Chain A
Amino acid sequence: NAGVTQTPKFRILKIGQSMTLQCAQDMNHNYMYWYRQDPGMGLKLIYYSVGAGITDKGEVPNGYNVSRSTTEDFPLRLELAAPSQTSVYFCASSYSPGRDEQFFGPGTRLTVL
Protein backbone atom coordinates (compact mmCIF):
# COMPACT_ATOMS: atom_id res chain seq x y z
CA ASN A 1 0.00 0.00 0.00
CA ALA A 2 1.18 3.52 -0.83
CA GLY A 3 -0.76 4.96 2.14
CA VAL A 4 -1.48 8.67 1.73
CA THR A 5 0.15 10.38 -1.24
CA GLN A 6 0.33 14.09 -1.99
CA THR A 7 1.41 16.06 -5.04
CA PRO A 8 3.24 18.28 -5.63
CA LYS A 9 5.98 18.20 -2.97
CA PHE A 10 6.91 21.84 -3.51
CA ARG A 11 5.27 24.76 -5.29
CA ILE A 12 5.86 28.49 -5.62
CA LEU A 13 2.85 30.60 -6.57
CA LYS A 14 2.47 34.25 -7.38
CA ILE A 15 -0.14 36.30 -5.53
CA GLY A 16 -3.53 35.81 -7.14
CA GLN A 17 -2.74 32.48 -8.82
CA SER A 18 -4.75 29.35 -8.12
CA MET A 19 -3.76 25.73 -7.72
CA THR A 20 -4.99 22.35 -6.57
CA LEU A 21 -3.14 20.20 -4.07
CA GLN A 22 -3.77 16.55 -4.73
CA CYS A 23 -4.28 13.90 -2.04
CA ALA A 24 -5.05 10.23 -2.44
CA GLN A 25 -5.22 7.24 -0.08
CA ASP A 26 -5.46 3.54 -0.82
CA MET A 27 -6.53 2.32 2.64
CA ASN A 28 -10.27 2.64 1.97
CA HIS A 29 -10.60 5.22 4.75
CA ASN A 30 -13.81 7.19 4.86
CA TYR A 31 -12.36 10.09 6.83
CA MET A 32 -9.91 12.50 5.24
CA TYR A 33 -8.46 15.80 6.43
CA TRP A 34 -6.45 18.76 5.23
CA TYR A 35 -4.14 20.59 7.65
CA ARG A 36 -1.72 23.44 7.35
CA GLN A 37 1.36 23.83 9.51
CA ASP A 38 3.09 27.17 9.87
CA PRO A 39 6.68 27.32 11.22
CA GLY A 40 6.87 26.42 14.92
CA MET A 41 3.15 25.78 15.08
CA GLY A 42 0.93 22.76 15.37
CA LEU A 43 -1.42 21.61 12.66
CA LYS A 44 -4.59 23.56 11.95
CA LEU A 45 -7.53 21.82 10.30
CA ILE A 46 -8.67 23.42 7.03
CA TYR A 47 -11.37 21.01 5.82
CA TYR A 48 -12.39 17.45 6.48
CA SER A 49 -14.57 14.82 4.86
CA VAL A 50 -16.50 11.94 6.41
CA GLY A 51 -17.10 10.20 3.10
CA ALA A 52 -17.53 10.68 -0.62
CA GLY A 53 -19.71 13.71 -1.28
CA ILE A 54 -19.56 15.01 2.31
CA THR A 55 -17.19 17.76 3.39
CA ASP A 56 -17.13 20.32 6.19
CA LYS A 57 -15.10 23.29 7.32
CA GLY A 58 -12.39 23.07 9.91
CA GLU A 59 -10.69 25.79 11.89
CA VAL A 60 -9.16 27.82 9.02
CA PRO A 61 -11.20 27.29 5.80
CA ASN A 62 -11.07 30.79 4.31
CA GLY A 63 -9.36 30.91 0.93
CA TYR A 64 -9.69 27.16 0.33
CA ASN A 65 -12.18 24.76 -1.20
CA VAL A 66 -12.43 20.98 -1.29
CA SER A 67 -14.36 18.27 -3.04
CA ARG A 68 -14.67 14.54 -2.42
CA SER A 69 -16.08 12.67 -5.40
CA THR A 70 -14.45 9.33 -4.52
CA THR A 71 -13.33 7.59 -1.35
CA GLU A 72 -9.71 7.74 -2.51
CA ASP A 73 -9.24 11.38 -3.50
CA PHE A 74 -9.56 14.62 -1.55
CA PRO A 75 -8.12 17.60 -3.48
CA LEU A 76 -7.65 21.03 -1.89
CA ARG A 77 -8.16 24.08 -4.08
CA LEU A 78 -6.52 27.43 -3.39
CA GLU A 79 -8.17 30.35 -5.14
CA LEU A 80 -6.43 33.73 -5.40
CA ALA A 81 -3.30 32.75 -3.49
CA ALA A 82 -2.09 35.16 -0.79
CA PRO A 83 1.23 35.31 1.13
CA SER A 84 -0.67 34.24 4.27
CA GLN A 85 -1.20 30.85 2.61
CA THR A 86 2.52 30.14 2.60
CA SER A 87 2.71 26.98 4.68
CA VAL A 88 3.21 23.23 4.65
CA TYR A 89 0.01 21.37 3.82
CA PHE A 90 -0.66 17.86 5.08
CA CYS A 91 -3.41 15.53 4.03
CA ALA A 92 -4.43 12.74 6.39
CA SER A 93 -6.90 9.89 6.53
CA SER A 94 -8.33 7.59 9.17
CA TYR A 95 -10.62 4.60 9.43
CA SER A 96 -12.86 6.24 11.98
CA PRO A 97 -12.85 9.64 13.63
CA GLY A 98 -11.44 10.17 17.06
CA ARG A 99 -10.46 6.67 18.09
CA ASP A 100 -8.10 5.71 15.30
CA GLU A 101 -4.74 6.89 14.12
CA GLN A 102 -4.64 9.49 11.37
CA PHE A 103 -2.16 8.60 8.65
CA PHE A 104 -0.41 11.59 7.13
CA GLY A 105 0.89 12.21 3.65
CA PRO A 106 4.41 13.59 3.08
CA GLY A 107 3.20 17.18 2.77
CA THR A 108 3.29 19.95 0.19
CA ARG A 109 5.47 22.97 0.87
CA LEU A 110 3.80 26.02 -0.69
CA THR A 111 5.29 29.49 -1.00
CA VAL A 112 3.25 32.44 -2.22
CA LEU A 113 5.28 35.43 -3.40
Chain B
Amino acid sequence: QKEVEQNSGPLSVPEGAIASLNCTYSDRGSQSFFWYRQYSGKSPELIMFIYSNGDKEDGRFTAQLNKASQYVSLLIRDSQPSDSATYLCAVTNDYKLSFGAGTTVTVRA
Protein backbone atom coordinates (compact mmCIF):
# COMPACT_ATOMS: atom_id res chain seq x y z
CA GLN B 1 0.00 0.00 0.00
CA LYS B 2 1.35 3.41 -0.91
CA GLU B 3 1.86 5.81 1.95
CA VAL B 4 -0.14 8.59 0.33
CA GLU B 5 -2.74 7.98 -2.36
CA GLN B 6 -4.64 10.57 -4.34
CA ASN B 7 -7.68 10.19 -6.57
CA SER B 8 -6.57 9.57 -10.11
CA GLY B 9 -7.03 12.34 -12.58
CA PRO B 10 -7.09 14.21 -14.65
CA LEU B 11 -9.96 16.23 -13.24
CA SER B 12 -11.69 18.59 -15.62
CA VAL B 13 -14.05 21.22 -14.21
CA PRO B 14 -15.82 24.20 -15.81
CA GLU B 15 -14.79 27.68 -14.78
CA GLY B 16 -16.65 28.74 -11.65
CA ALA B 17 -17.30 25.18 -10.45
CA ILE B 18 -15.94 23.41 -7.37
CA ALA B 19 -12.97 21.07 -7.80
CA SER B 20 -12.75 18.32 -5.17
CA LEU B 21 -9.46 16.53 -4.54
CA ASN B 22 -9.03 13.57 -2.22
CA CYS B 23 -6.09 12.01 -0.44
CA THR B 24 -5.72 9.04 1.92
CA TYR B 25 -2.66 8.11 3.96
CA SER B 26 -1.50 4.92 5.64
CA ASP B 27 0.45 6.12 8.70
CA ARG B 28 -2.04 6.72 11.50
CA GLY B 29 0.64 8.64 13.41
CA SER B 30 0.94 11.36 10.74
CA GLN B 31 0.58 14.80 12.25
CA SER B 32 0.70 17.40 9.51
CA PHE B 33 -0.90 17.55 6.09
CA PHE B 34 -0.07 19.80 3.17
CA TRP B 35 -1.42 20.60 -0.25
CA TYR B 36 1.08 21.81 -2.83
CA ARG B 37 0.30 23.15 -6.28
CA GLN B 38 2.68 22.45 -9.13
CA TYR B 39 2.40 24.14 -12.51
CA SER B 40 3.85 22.24 -15.46
CA GLY B 41 7.64 22.52 -15.48
CA LYS B 42 7.73 24.38 -12.16
CA SER B 43 8.49 23.51 -8.57
CA PRO B 44 5.79 22.79 -5.97
CA GLU B 45 4.41 25.67 -3.94
CA LEU B 46 2.42 25.41 -0.73
CA ILE B 47 -1.23 26.41 -0.87
CA MET B 48 -2.66 24.92 2.34
CA PHE B 49 -1.66 23.07 5.46
CA ILE B 50 -3.86 21.52 8.15
CA TYR B 51 -3.01 19.90 11.47
CA SER B 52 -6.35 19.39 13.23
CA ASN B 53 -9.51 17.53 12.36
CA GLY B 54 -12.11 19.62 10.61
CA ASP B 55 -12.08 22.31 7.96
CA LYS B 56 -9.64 25.09 7.25
CA GLU B 57 -10.48 27.81 4.77
CA ASP B 58 -8.12 30.17 2.95
CA GLY B 59 -9.75 32.26 0.25
CA ARG B 60 -11.20 29.93 -2.38
CA PHE B 61 -9.45 26.89 -0.89
CA THR B 62 -10.77 24.64 1.89
CA ALA B 63 -8.81 21.76 3.36
CA GLN B 64 -10.64 19.06 5.29
CA LEU B 65 -8.99 16.53 7.60
CA ASN B 66 -10.43 13.40 9.16
CA LYS B 67 -7.70 11.56 11.08
CA ALA B 68 -10.00 8.69 12.09
CA SER B 69 -10.61 7.91 8.41
CA GLN B 70 -7.03 8.90 7.46
CA TYR B 71 -8.42 11.20 4.83
CA VAL B 72 -7.63 14.73 3.75
CA SER B 73 -9.27 16.68 0.97
CA LEU B 74 -8.98 19.99 -0.84
CA LEU B 75 -11.87 21.95 -2.30
CA ILE B 76 -11.28 24.72 -4.80
CA ARG B 77 -14.33 26.98 -5.09
CA ASP B 78 -15.06 29.24 -8.06
CA SER B 79 -12.37 27.47 -10.08
CA GLN B 80 -10.35 29.72 -12.38
CA PRO B 81 -8.18 28.84 -15.41
CA SER B 82 -5.17 29.81 -13.27
CA ASP B 83 -6.03 26.87 -10.98
CA SER B 84 -5.10 24.44 -13.78
CA ALA B 85 -2.17 22.56 -12.27
CA THR B 86 -1.19 19.35 -10.51
CA TYR B 87 -2.07 19.24 -6.81
CA LEU B 88 0.16 17.19 -4.54
CA CYS B 89 -0.96 15.90 -1.16
CA ALA B 90 1.88 15.55 1.36
CA VAL B 91 1.87 13.96 4.80
CA THR B 92 4.47 14.30 7.55
CA ASN B 93 6.28 11.22 8.75
CA ASP B 94 8.95 12.13 11.35
CA TYR B 95 11.27 14.59 9.59
CA LYS B 96 10.03 13.74 6.18
CA LEU B 97 7.19 14.52 3.85
CA SER B 98 5.63 11.71 1.85
CA PHE B 99 3.97 12.87 -1.35
CA GLY B 100 1.12 11.44 -3.34
CA ALA B 101 1.42 11.13 -7.11
CA GLY B 102 -0.73 14.20 -7.62
CA THR B 103 -4.04 15.00 -9.29
CA THR B 104 -4.00 17.14 -12.41
CA VAL B 105 -6.80 19.66 -12.58
CA THR B 106 -7.88 21.40 -15.77
CA VAL B 107 -10.31 24.30 -15.53
CA ARG B 108 -12.08 24.81 -18.84
CA ALA B 109 -13.46 28.20 -19.80
Q: How far is the CB of A67 from chain B (nearest CB, A)?
A: 18
> Contact between A43 and B32 (Cβ–Cβ < 8 Å)?
no
> Contact between B99 and A97 (Cβ–Cβ < 8 Å)?
no
Q: CA of A106 to CA of B42 in the docked complex: distance in angstroms?
A: 7
Asked if A41 meets B43 with Cβ closer than 8 Å, knowing A48-B95, A98-B94, A101-B34, the reply is: no
Question: Is A31 at the interface (CB under 8 A from chain B)?
Answer: yes
Find chain A residues with CB under 8 A from B4 CB.
Answer: 42
Asked if A42 meets B45 with Cβ closer than 8 Å, knowing A31-B95, A97-B95, the reply is: no
> Contact between B101 and A106 (Cβ–Cβ < 8 Å)?
no
> Contact between B49 and A48 (Cβ–Cβ < 8 Å)?
no
* Total residues of chain A contacting the partner, CB 8 A: 22
> Contact between B43 and A104 (Cβ–Cβ < 8 Å)?
yes
Question: Is B46 at the interface (CB under 8 A from chain A)?
Answer: yes
Main secondary structure on A side of the interface with B: loop
Question: Is B17 at the interface (CB under 8 A from chain A)?
Answer: no
Write the chain B residue with the least CB distance to A35. Answer: B99
Q: CA of A106 to CA of B38 in the docked complex: distance in angstroms?
A: 11
Contact code string A70-109 (vs B, CB < 8 Å = 1, else 0): 0000000000000000000010000001110110111100
Question: Is A40 at the interface (CB under 8 A from chain B)?
Answer: yes
Q: CA of A85 to CA of B49 in the docked complex: distance in angstroms?
A: 31
